[in-house]
Amino acid sequence: MITLHQYHLSPFNEKIQRMLNHKGIPFEERYWTLGERKKVRALNPTGKLPALQNGERVVCDSTDVAHYIEQNFPQKPLIPSDPRLRAQVHVLEDWADESLYFYEMHLRFTTPGNRERNIPRMVEHEGAFLRWLLAKVVPGGIVRITGSQGIGRKSIEQLLVDVERHITAVDGLLDGADWLVGNQLSLADLAVYAMFQALRDADMVADMLARYPAVTAWMMRVEEHTGTRAARRD
């Protein structure tokens, strides 16, 4: 049986869960708390999740996990073999993972209103002491990460200009198309969907997304094709 090791509220979980769902691969979920980070390092020396375990084999990093799944479970392909389409999928997946990710992290967990709602959700499975402590230190820790990455130094107004440009880009890719790459669902759709879904947890982005009917219809299309999320929404 495949086990997907995850941290709560991570958008990378959803990318992999939907991939497994789409291919009809049964899996079980193991959620780790932030208090268990030392134990997570035994699984992945970088301390990051998700990681997929298939028997003795542990694959870390959602991109490597996605390629591992595609190679070992080739049914209902999500990574095209055509080199041009494959390259487009890679570029979009990497944009989602390495750019959109920082927007969702910053807007969801550090901005007023969103922070108060989402931080308690992130730490609700910790023990009482860590729940109290992490609720105090996590927003500052995230600002340090997004600050060194760069977007955490921008004003909220500027971040929303950036995010709207990203949504408009997806809207443009969907002009006359059902999917982001080629004419079928791919890993690119799952990676970008997962980040947009997380961005939706920030009120101002939820309102913005609602103004893009082609994008919201595409998100529903992704959901129709990849089933309900596994067991729990964290």
62 binding ligand GSH? (CB under 6 A): yes
Binding status of residue 49 toward ligand GSH by CB under 6 A: yes
Using CB under 6 A, which residues numbered 134 to 173 contact ligand GSH? none
According to the binding rule CB under 6 A, does residue 109 interact with ligand GSH? no
Nearer to ligand GSH (CB atom), residue 137 or residue 220: 137
Least Å distance, CB 172 to ligand GSH, is 25
Structural contact between residues 146 and 99, judged by C-beta atoms closer than 8 angstroms: no
Does 86 contact ligand GSH by CB under 6 A? no
What secondary structure does DSSP assign to 16-59, as a single string?
Answer: HHHHHHHHT--EEEEEE-GGGHHHHHHH-TT----EEEETTEEE
Both tokens of 170, joined, read 């997806």
**Residue burial 181-201, b: 16+ Cβ < 10 Å; e: rest:** bbeebbbbbbbbbbbbbbbbb
Residue from 4, 5, 10, 115 that binds ligand GSH (CB under 6 A)? 10
Alpha helices in 96-212 (DSSP H): 101-110, 114-123, 128-149, 156-173, 187-199, 203-209
Candidate ranges 48-56, 114-122, 153-161, 210-218; the one touching ligand GSH (CB under 6 A): 48-56
In angstroms, the CA 152 to CA 142 distance is 9
- Looking at beta carbons only, is 9 or 212 nearer to ligand GSH? 9
- Closest separation in Å from C-beta 148 to ligand GSH: 13
Cβ 82 to ligand GSH, closest distance in Å? 24
Kindly state the smallest distance separating residue 217's Cβ from ligand GSH, in Å: 27
Q: Tell me which residues touch ligand GSH (CB under 6 A).
A: 7, 10, 12, 47-50, 61-63, 97
